[in-house]
Amino acid sequence: MTGDADALAVYVHWPFCLSKCPYCDFNSHVADAVDHARWRDALLAELAHYAAETAGRTVTSLFFGGGTPSLMEPATAAAVIEAVAGHWRAADDLEITLEANPTSVEAARFRDLGAAGVNRVSIGVQALDDAALRFLGRGHSVEEARRAVDLARTIFPRASFDLIYARPGQTVESWERELTEAISLAGEHLSLYQLSIERGTPFFAAHRGGAFALPDEDAGAALYDATQETCEAHGLPAYEISNHARPGAECRHNLVYWTGGDYVGVGPGAHGRLTLAGEPVATEQVPGPANWLDAVAAQGHATRRREPLGWPARIEEMLMTGLRLRAGIARDTFLARTGIELEDAMEPRRLRRLLDGGFLVLDARGLRATGEGRVRLNAVLAALLA
Ligand SMILES: C[S@@+](CC[C@H](N)C(=O)[O-])C[C@H]1O[C@@H](n2cnc3c(N)ncnc32)[C@H](O)[C@@H]1O
Ligand code: SF4
């Protein structure tokens, strides 16, 4: 990553799914009908709105997230890509990622998305075990997921997929087998999330009611350790807590978030971080799809929050996200983005305790968590920033 103040990432949220998974608390909804032309025009309106104050900058990545953006009409994705290239300068190696659900994949749709300019897909495989897919309420089988990944790899230059582990009853041995298969299927990038129980989801009530139990802390730690070892042994080390890649195949878009770069966020509930006239600004769009659409129709955008963040808050965010990365926070990037040295961003005694405790390392390259520190990153951040 560079500390280039000119660079910009763009996030586009597509909030619809074919069905709502019982564990998921993303801003995703099942809709009877979607007026694709209206959605396209509204997304284009929000892009134009943010482009007006960030014109001249270079877009290094565009990310269609969701929800299930593989349900977008390829023509909508094409219009968004064209608009992005028109509003800003497009980097030569512009990364254009789209999240896909294996259920929504047809060869023709994938081909059209590729022709539109999408050059990276991230597929929600979730498990390579049919019983686990049923438990997770997914609408696809392992076989369909494999076919979706195989197809994606023939169409897009880069592909990744997501798995959810630390599922009820999962053993280290069965997870290692599943993960080894996933690595051979994936090729260059995998996102591996531990199942988390989110308030307000059907899983929250079911879990509380005793319908299932998650692995306890020790079992969860053993599964995490097995994940690190297996991925490392196969050449896909973790470059972030939940993300593994062959060196060079990291998701550039997410690196922008984690290294404190600027990004525009459009679509329902999207967040943005922009440095405008030297000051960090936070933006957030109206979350509900219908309200978002109405607000864009009425005023050309659906920004519900737009406020100066202040450098102390922005720096705290950068420390929290930067320490998620194995490479940590690069000294020169941090200085270029904030105007201050890393050491001056932290309370010296708190920092010293974590360095002496073996949880953090600070050297000429920058600041990063040790293996010990990464395992208990939340506690490390609380001790550093409280
Ligand atoms: C927006 S979804 C991905 C794309 C697509 N909607 C799909 O599900 O195939 C992002 C990812 O977050 C992960 N995720 C969502 N809720 C989770 C939870 N409660 N625990 C762990 N991972 C979760 C899933 O792996 C999912 O693929
Ligand atoms: S996991 Fe993906 S498909 Fe399932 S509800 Fe969430 S966003 Fe939609």
Contact 99, 65 (CB under 8 A): yes
Amino acid 2: pLDDT: 40
Per-residue confidence (pLDDT) for residue 77, from 0 to 100: 98
Digit-coded pLDDT (tens) for 151-198: 999 999 999 999 999 999 999 999 999 999 999 999 899 999 999 999
Average pLDDT over residues 81-99: 97
> Of the ligands numbered here, which is closest to the C-alpha atom of 69?
1
* Smallest CA separation from ligand 2 atom 6, residue: 24
**Ligand 1 site, residue 204, Cβ cutoff 6 A:** no
Instruction: Indicate whether 359 pLDDT > 60.
Output: yes
Q: Which residues face 155 on adjacent strands?
A: none
C-beta 15 within 6 A of ligand 1:
no
Kindly tell me if the per-residue pLDDT of 380 is higher than 50: yes
- pLDDT for 107 equals 74
CB of residue 17 inside a 6 A radius of ligand 2 = yes
Dump pLDDT digits (tens) for 99-145.
999 987 777 899 999 999 999 999 999 999 999 999 999 999 999 99
* CA 74 vs CA 96, 261, 289: distances in Å: 13, 28, 20
Query: What value does the mean pLDDT take over residues 220-239?
Result: 96
Per-residue CA distances from 205 to 23, 91, 92, 152, 352 (Å): 10, 46, 48, 36, 42
Q: Which CA distances in Å does 261 have to 2, 8, 23, 129, 294?
A: 9, 7, 30, 37, 30
Q: Which ligand is nearest to the CA of 138?
A: 2
Helices (H), 188-249: 202-208, 217-233
Structure-derived torsion over alpha carbons of residues 136, 122, 314, 345, reported in degrees to the nearest 10: 100
pLDDT at 318 over 90: yes
Q: What average pLDDT does range 30-40 have in this prediction?
A: 96
- The predicted pLDDT at position 369 comes to 98
Task: Kindly state if the Cβ of 67 falls inside 6 Å of ligand 2.
Answer: yes
Residue 44's nearest CA partner among 14, 6, 8, 80 is 80
Q: Is 133 in the pocket of ligand 2 (CB under 6 A)?
A: no
The CB of 303 under 6 Å from ligand 1? The reply is no
The answer to whether the CB of 373 falls within 8 A of the CB of 380 is yes
Separation of alpha carbons 351 and 340, rounded Å = 16
Residue bearing the CA closest to ligand 1, atom 27: 124
In this predicted structure, what is the pLDDT of residue 16?
Answer: 97
Whether the CB of 193 sits within 6 Å of ligand 2 = no
- Whether 220 and 166 have beta carbons less than 8 Å apart is answered as yes
Ligand 1 mutation target, pool 193, 203, 204, 254, most atoms within 8 A of CB = 193
Average pLDDT of 223-234? 97
Q: Which atom of ligand 2 is nearest to the CA of 24?
A: 6
Q: Is the CB of 104 under 6 A from ligand 2?
A: no
pLDDT at 3 over 60: no
Mutate to test the pocket of ligand 2, among 16, 30, 68 (most ligand atoms within 8 A of CB): 68
Give the pLDDT of residue 386: 76
CA dist., res. 338 & res. 312, Å (int): 10
For residue 16, give the DSSP letter. Answer: B
3-class secondary-structure state, position 198: coil
Ligand lying nearest the CA atom of residue 201: 1
Q: What percent of the chain has pLDDT over 90?
A: 96
Radius of gyration of the chain (CA): 21
66 lines ligand 2 (CB under 6 A): yes
Q: Is 19 in the pocket of ligand 1 (CB under 6 A)?
A: no
Closest atom, ligand 2, to C-alpha of 103? 3
Ligand nearest to the CA of 21: 2
Mean pLDDT of 303-330: 97
Dist. CA 386–CA 218, nearest whole Å: 27
| Location of structure tokens 């495989």 | 125
Question: Cα separation of 159 and 122, whole Å?
Answer: 6
Q: Please check the confidence at residue 4 and state whether its pLDDT lies above 70.
A: no
